[in-house]
Amino acid sequence: MYKNPKNIFKKSSSLARKLSISHLVVFIALFAGIAVARQLFTSAATPSLAARCDLISTSKTTVTTGESFTAKVVMHNMGTTPWSPYYATFLNDPDNRWSFSGNLLPRNVVYDTSVTFNLTLHAPTTAGGYGFRAGMYNYTIPGGWIYKLCAPVNITVNAPPVIPPEPPPPTDTGGDTGGDTGGDTGGDTGGGDTTIQGSSNDENTTQSPAADTSPPSTPADFTAKANTSNMSVLLNWTVSTDNIGVQAYQLERSLDNVNNWESLSGSITETNFEDFSVSFGVHYYYRLKAVDAAGNASPYASTEIVSSGFEANAHPDSDATVTSEDGLVSILIPSGALEKDAFCSIDVAQDILSPIPKGYVMLGGPYEFKCRDESDTVLTLKKAAVLTGQINKQMIKGIGKVEYFGQDEGDTWKTLKITKHNKKTLADTVELNNHSVFTIMGKHKKTSIWLVIFEIFLVLAGLVVLARFVVNWLLKRKAQKQYDETLHKSRGW
């Protein structure tokens, strides 16, 4: 019996349609899986560098060209990577217009903490309306900017007022020609010759602009405070002003306030400084001045303080633990490591840079560990101290491995051995091996070969599904054509 081709087509067409839809769904799901896998890997492999602008303000919103004024910017670290004053991250002027100083970080800024910048701005030399913006910048990442910039503060820059020129000196209207009433015909009877010698030369003389001779103002509110946690002295002051702009602050220290002033720094750009080179219970005198680009210096601001007295926090007959101010590292000094009572601390290592290998990011430090006795002598431990690093989960997003590096006396850096890792708390126990300076690095995650293989498999599977979808569509077209031809023949068309 002859089968109705229409029924045959309906069955085949329905099957092809079902296969096509199922293939299309699988095809979309496969490529969605590729996108999700890539997104997960990308987000995991990229260190979290982010910030929030909490405040941006200026002391003036209307200035004249070239005028100096002050600004304040408060930034909040919203990422998982600490900002370091020694590496990569700093406050920057994206427009390169205001030439502000004081853009370096005054300290390490860890996750979920803020830092304040007190800046000196210099207005452009061309009048107009401008916006002042600021942003955190990190030169180790593409593009550099690690957050959306602060909303600009609109500032009007006016040209200085025009001072009319002085009128020229009077010219000679009599004299030699005999035109004046006194004349030269029989001697002067009134004013005689009124010609001013050398006046023609004075009229053509162009005066050069005066050199900058105005010194900055004296730094105000200069104070000193003893920091008992690490036996340092914290110094703070407010911004000096200048007609052109303060270039830096110069800080000196003395023991008698008369002679032997010791320079601590001649290039401070912030309004604070921490003096780690103090001894126990010593009376220190500090003086500070602001200097502009022309070399003009302000009068000195002065302060004084007695540093904290010796108070031991580690003893020869017992274990002791000290912790850094940022809470990331602590060191156990075992019993028997010290010969006498000592004060031990973990400080930010001033003027010490550690190399950042390619593919790494700084997580903490550099730190300097030292124990001092009552005479301020740095002690050598008879037993090795044990370092513990407490990195939190927010800090290791995008980090494949946390490593510790120590600096030898020859300024070479070596990898420190991790003897224990707590997967739950993420705490690392590290052999310090008498390294007094150390740092924490995070190694970026690398592309997994299995992820690459998985992506290739998904792409190939997607291409197969797409090919089958196309083939089914072609078969459907062919079946339709065959049905039409059979229908025509059965009806005798």
Q: Which helix (H) or strand (E) holds 40?
A: helix 5-45
User: Which class is domain 320-444?
Assistant: mainly beta
Tokens of 144: 């550099």
Global model pTM greater than 0.85: no
What sections of 54-207 are H helices per DSSP? Answer: 199-203
Contact (CB, 8 A) for 77 and 110: yes
Q: What is the pLDDT of residues 384-413, one digit of tens each?
A: 889 998 877 766 666 778 889 888 776 678
At residue 15, does pLDDT exceed 60? Answer: no
Q: What is the pLDDT of residues 414-472, one digit of tens each?
A: 888 999 988 888 888 998 888 888 888 888 776 566 666 777 877 887 787 788 778 87
The two domains 223-306 and 320-444 share their CATH topology (first three levels equal): no
Output the CA torsion 480→485→486→490 (10° steps): 140
Rg over alpha carbons for the chain, rounded to the nearest Å, is: 39
User: Which class is domain 51-158?
Assistant: mainly beta
pLDDT for residue 98: 83
Parse the chain into domains and list their residue ranges: 23-46+449-490, 51-158, 223-306, 320-444
pLDDT for residue 390: 83
Cα(124)–Cα(116) distance, integer angstroms: 24
Over residues 20-40, the mean pLDDT reads 60
Q: What is the pLDDT of residues 323-369, one digit of tens each?
A: 887 788 899 999 999 999 999 988 877 656 666 777 777 778 788 89
- Burial call 345-374: b when 16+ CB within 10 Å, e when fewer: bbbbbeeeebebeeebbbbbbbbbbbbbbb
Query: Is 453 exposed, middle or buried, given 0-12, 13-18 or 19+ CB atoms closer than 10 A?
Result: exposed
Amino acid type, 135: G
Cα(91)–Cα(104) distance, integer angstroms: 6
Over residues 77-106, the mean pLDDT reads 74
Higher pLDDT, 450 or 151: 151
The number of beta carbons lying within 10 Å of the beta carbon of residue 141 is 16
Output the CA torsion 408→414→419→423 (10° steps): 120
Amino acid type, 79: G
Q: At residue 367, what are phi and psi to the nearest 5 degrees?
A: -110, 155
Strand partners, 68: 122
Cα(481)–Cα(478) distance, integer angstroms: 5
Specify the residue for token string 């004081």: 102
Instruction: Give residues with Cβ within 8 angstroms of 209, minimum separation 6.
Output: none
- Least Cα distance to 366 among 456, 436, 271, 317 occurs for 436
Query: Is 81 exposed, middle or buried, given 0-12, 13-18 or 19+ CB atoms closer than 10 A?
Result: buried
Domain 223-306: CATH architecture, name and number where available: Sandwich (2.60)
